Structure 1
Amino acid sequence: MGDISFPNIPQNLRVPLFYADIDPSNANTGQQTQRALIVGQILSSGTGTPGVPQICQGVSDAKAVGGRGSMLALMTEAYRARDSFGEVWYLPLADGASSVAASGSLNFTSAPTAMGVLSLYIAGQLVSLVVTPAMTAAQIATALVAQIGTLPDLPVTAAVDATTTTKVDITAKNKGLAGNDIDLQLNYGGTQAGESTPTGLAVTITAMAGGLVAPDVADALANLGDQTFDFIAFAYTDSASLDAMKSFLSTSTGRWSWSQQLYGGAYTAYRGTLGALTTFGVTRNDEHMSILGFNGSPTPSWVIAADITAAVAVSARADPAQPLQTVTLATMQAPPLAMRFALTDRNTLLYDGISTFSVADDGTCALENLITTYQKNSFGDADDSYLEVETMNTLTYVLRQLKSVVTTKYARKKLAANGTRVVPGTNVVTPAMIRADLVAQYQTMEENGYVQGSAVFAQGLIVQQNSQNPNRVDVLYPAILIDQLRIFALLMQFSNIVPTTSS
């Protein structure tokens, strides 16, 4: 029998008596921290350093880091409303040097004839203003500006127009394209919430528009180094920003590549009609990006992005393979009934790279089918290999489990060819021994519901010593990932007559 191999105790030791060495290679059951990252803009009043990631210490911290009413602060608030436990970091971005702020307006064209409450929603936040018949349209405009000024968490500023005193000019605090998605509307809560425009009061709303140039995200993403971030809330849907994220997470050269093995997925949202969403969706093809399509919700798309990311993080940390359908969102406000997509519309979106959601009777929004934007292979042919987010999450889990096994058990092993006589306790391993460990690990993952078909897997598993480099082991790992129950199809064959049975 060969000698037992010790990690540290030397062979030439002569001093008596007892010496103990420790080998943790069979004890590792550690779990990797699955961090979330929020990518969004800050204000000049924020304390954060643009492009420098930092850990989140709560919503109040986000308001200090990003500035009150900043995209970063509002995204963090939405994230924490859904995930109060997980580790979260920020990646603060400054407004682009050439960016232009979005703007809109409200023009009061007639004064009220009765007392009432003006219920204005700005980015989904309610601004209430009591108006009376004694107030002129200009006075109402002035009062509304003052009321908006008392709400520092709004993503806009307000001022009475320099030319038209009955008009309130609304300007996004953060410059860039994202400000165009700030919704302005009256009476979102409807009559059941007691919201209606006061009698006689007439208001003309000009939607937010004119925001130009998103910040450059590529350099900021590079500053993340080798820190892992599994869930990324991404505020931007312009092609340059999406391309930067695609490159950052790339399977060939980015975080999913063999040389980085950091993984992660990004989540965002896009506002538009069915036609606009399908037109946009087919332009994307990225297995690491998911885009939720919606129309009519007063909630900004970048806030919804944070809401989605938090929902995914909570579910995936508990079980990466469990389907995300019916997982509720905490902040997204439901679109009006007339602006919700029908079943056929949602099915169309799911074939064009756009994820869908459902709305419960109480207005709660929930994920329906969260997919990636991956649609075609390198030849331009339809390919659903990476369609589902759960596939990517499960791949991450399985690959990390394998890495943990290999780096824990085989970090300092000598490699011998199959057939070599290896006794227990020595620092020698053969491809056959590694293969047995991989099969056992696969069976454990099968029992835990991450993979399936262990017998078929074992038949196809190949572990061999590289013919050109004898210090290298090559593995063909034919994993069969667990599936998700998404469709339950039933044919009801009914009858009104009880069939007779023979006695």
Structure 2
Amino acid sequence: MADNVSFREVPADILVPGQYIEIDGSRADTGTPPIPRKIVIIGNKLPGGTAITATPTEEAIATADRAVQLGGRGSLLAQMAIEAFKAHPYGKFTLIATDDLGDGAAATGAIAVAGPATESGTLALYIDATKVSVGVTKADTATTIAAAIAAKINANPDLPLTAAVDGSDAAKVNLSARHKGECGNDIDVRYNFYMGEALPSGVTLTVTKMTGGTGNPDIGPLLAAIRGDDRIVLICPWTDASNMAKIEADFAERFGPMKQQESHCFVSVSGTYASLNTYGGLRNSPHTTVVVREGSMVSPWRIAASVAGRCALRGSADPARPFFGMTLPGLPAPAEKDRFDQPTRNNLLKAGISTLRYGPDGTVMIEMIVSTYKTNSMGVPTRAYFKIQSKWTADYFRYAWKVLIATRYPDFKLANDDTDFAPGQPIVTAKTLRLETVALAKDLEYAGLLENIADFKNTLIMLRSQANPNQVNSVASPDLVNQFDVFAAAIKFIN
């Protein structure tokens, strides 16, 4: 029978003498709960990689070396993991590998050499921002230099391409991406990037840009492999419309109230202002961030991994804090002539393209991270999810609210307000839930995530359902704290 105190584990009809004391941890946790985010890297593996395709790694990958083993040296998967670990050294990552599309084609390029060298020196080649130094001796012919270039490139298995001397022109080095697919077109090949680097006299190099890569793997099976996972930070190397649409649709479903698996995808795209503006205009999702790659030697998938790692690092600690000024470790800045000016970057942000900035010492930093969401379902312009801080902070409120209800009242009964029940009864009312929710909002205000709690309290609705007596309905309007992005002022001087 019911008593003035209801226990979860002590039976009501116990007769054997003893001291039966249950331990309940539902009120052990105080303050705001930590929110878990799972960082997932998807990408192509090479035949030498040990990862099982389309299968998330069972263990959380805690070192870049392990990621290289799984993807294979020089693989997209390994390259992305290396940058992610640099950006978030304390992170634990899940990797999902895939094979190249069988019907795809690998990008190709070339380095044509002319000589002979009239002095000794060193060629400073850069393959995807990795320096390849090639020694040249006075009187070396073009064919000798070409052979040396091919040998030096192939000596580094971590590079994303391989080299071979052309079969009909021994002064030409043919380059081939290790992977089939569109990504290979973005592998940067250049020489003499830094001040003081110069070709030995008598030697010229002509670089043919990497082109011809076609066909990306289908992301659908990879998304299915993580369908039940909560709060994914996804790092993806493919930016074609088909794969992006699948990510957006999958993450929109996750974001809804029946799943509450808030997730976000980071990619990076190369291009001119016009092409980037067009690309951003075709995307409209609060769940994707597209980072600009403006003339950088670094491949876009590596940029995406670095940005995602930094954002996950800060977002897990404080979802509302800006990312402005966070450095991307180890990434070289593009040449000044290749950087977009401020008006151009401002317009790219309007198009949903996130931007970077660069220090005088060549440090690469985050400027602004936005989503591609620009218009609502009616086509009306909106800034609701322009910044991912808004989405991440709102989701944190939802998560903390859910944790509060689930841990404090997991198996309680529900009664009307002002019901006269014993204090030890496991009964909750709408009034109690209202007080708990306001207290949570106060905690989040103190944590720097919400503001205007008086308005929150006045507008909070908490009612027992009329249609279902076992249900409480609520509407909350938390005022999310904003980011200090802009300081505007006028100076009116007096002589």
For Structure 1 versus Structure 2, the TM-score category normalised by the shorter chain is over 0.9
CA distance in 2, matches of 1:334, 1:159: 29
Contact 1:422 1:429 in 2 (8 A): no
Paired residue secondary structure (2:55): coil
Question: Structure 1's 223 and 424: CA in aligned 2 closer, same or farther, altered over 3 A?
Answer: same
CA distance in 1, matches of 2:102, 2:439: 56
What are the equivalent positions in structure 2 for 1:101-116 lying under 5 Å apart?
Answer: 101-116=106-121
Aligned AA (1:8):
E
Query: What residue in structure 2 maps to residue 16 of structure 1?
Result: 17
CA distance in 1, matches of 2:327, 2:124: 27
Cα deviation, residue 425, structure 1: 2.1
Query: What residue in structure 1 maps to residue 447 of structure 2?
Result: 448
Query: What residue in structure 2 maps to residue 500 of structure 1?
Result: none
2:283 is equivalent to residue 284 of structure 1: yes
Measured against aligned partners, the alpha-carbon deviations of 1:7-44 in whole angstroms (never above 9, x if no partner) come to 11011111112110112111135534322111111101
Question: Structure 1's 291 and 90: CA in aligned 2 closer, same or farther, altered over 3 A?
Answer: same
Cα deviation, residue 111, structure 1: 2.5
Paired residue secondary structure (1:174): strand
CA distance in 1, matches of 2:193, 2:135: 17
Query: What residue in structure 2 maps to residue 99 of structure 1?
Result: 104
Query: What residue in structure 2 maps to residue 124 of structure 1?
Result: 129
Contact 2:230 2:260 in 1 (8 A): no
Query: What residue in structure 1 maps to residue 26 of structure 2?
Result: 25
Aligned identity (percent) is 33
CA distance in 2, matches of 1:185, 1:450: 46
Paired residue secondary structure (2:331): coil
Cα deviation, residue 230, structure 1: 3.5
Aligned AA (2:5):
I
Query: What residue in structure 2 maps to residue 335 of structure 1?
Result: 334
Paired residue secondary structure (2:118): coil
Q: Pick from 173, 177, 186: which aligns with 2:178?
A: 173
Paired residue secondary structure (1:102): strand
Measured against aligned partners, the alpha-carbon deviations of 1:41-87 in whole angstroms (never above 9, x if no partner) come to 11011000111111313111111100000011111111111111012
Q: Pick from 49, 52, 55: which aligns with 1:52?
A: 55
Query: What residue in structure 2 maps to residue 378 of structure 1?
Result: 377
2:243 is equivalent to residue 245 of structure 1: no
Contact 1:290 1:354 in 2 (8 A): yes
Contact 1:35 1:86 in 2 (8 A): no
Paired residue secondary structure (1:355): strand
CA distance in 2, matches of 1:422, 1:334: 67
Displaced runs of 4+ in structure 1, greater than 4 A?
none
Q: Pick from 120, 130, 133: which aligns with 2:138?
A: 133
Cα deviation, residue 423, structure 1: 3.3
CA distance in 1, matches of 2:122, 2:92: 41
Contact 1:307 1:331 in 2 (8 A): no
Contact 2:328 2:366 in 1 (8 A): yes
CA distance in 1, matches of 2:368, 2:284: 17
Contact 1:120 1:185 in 2 (8 A): yes
Cα deviation, residue 119, structure 1: 0.7
Paired residue secondary structure (1:108): strand
Aligned AA (1:361):
P
Equivalent residue pairs, number: 490
Range with bigger deviation, 83-92 or 414-423: 414-423
CA distance in 2, matches of 1:19, 1:437: 30
2:432 is equivalent to residue 433 of structure 1: yes
Could you state the TM-score of these two structures normalised by the residue count of structure 2? 0.97
CA distance in 1, matches of 2:349, 2:237: 21
Query: What residue in structure 2 maps to residue 274 of structure 1?
Result: 273
CA distance in 2, matches of 1:17, 1:429: 30
Q: Pick from 20, 40, 43: which aligns with 2:43?
A: 40
Contact 2:35 2:316 in 1 (8 A): no
Cα deviation, residue 2, structure 1: 6.1
Cα deviation, residue 265, structure 1: 1.1
Range with bigger deviation, 256-265 or 407-416: 256-265
Contact 1:374 1:386 in 2 (8 A): yes
What are the equivalent positions in structure 2 for 1:400-439 lying under 5 Å apart?
Answer: 400-439=399-438
CA distance in 2, matches of 1:175, 1:105: 17
2:65 is equivalent to residue 63 of structure 1: no
CA distance in 1, matches of 2:447, 2:368: 24
Measured against aligned partners, the alpha-carbon deviations of 1:126-173 in whole angstroms (never above 9, x if no partner) come to 100011222111111111111112111001111111111111111111
Query: What residue in structure 2 maps to residue 81 of structure 1?
Result: 86
Contact 1:158 1:170 in 2 (8 A): yes
Aligned AA (1:50):
T
CA distance in 2, matches of 1:444, 1:228: 24
Query: What residue in structure 1 maps to residue 229 of structure 2?
Result: 227
Paired residue secondary structure (1:63): helix
Question: Structure 1's 456 and 422: CA in aligned 2 closer, same or farther, altered over 3 A?
Answer: farther
Contact 2:36 2:316 in 1 (8 A): no
CA distance in 2, matches of 1:452, 1:423: 36
CA distance in 2, matches of 1:447, 1:209: 53
CA distance in 1, matches of 2:61, 2:247: 21
Query: What residue in structure 2 maps to residue 207 of structure 1?
Result: 209
Contact 2:62 2:91 in 1 (8 A): no
What are the equivalent positions in structure 2 for 1:149-188 lying under 5 Å apart?
Answer: 149-188=154-193
Cα deviation, residue 190, structure 1: 2.6
Contact 1:34 1:87 in 2 (8 A): no
Paired residue secondary structure (1:246): helix
CA distance in 1, matches of 2:36, 2:446: 23
Q: For the aligned residues, what is the CA RMSD? A: 1.4
Contact 2:444 2:450 in 1 (8 A): yes
Could you state the TM-score of these two structures normalised by the residue count of structure 1? 0.95
Cα deviation, residue 369, structure 1: 0.9
Contact 2:62 2:92 in 1 (8 A): no
Cα deviation, residue 229, structure 1: 4.3
Query: What residue in structure 2 maps to residue 501 of structure 1?
Result: none
Contact 1:457 1:478 in 2 (8 A): yes
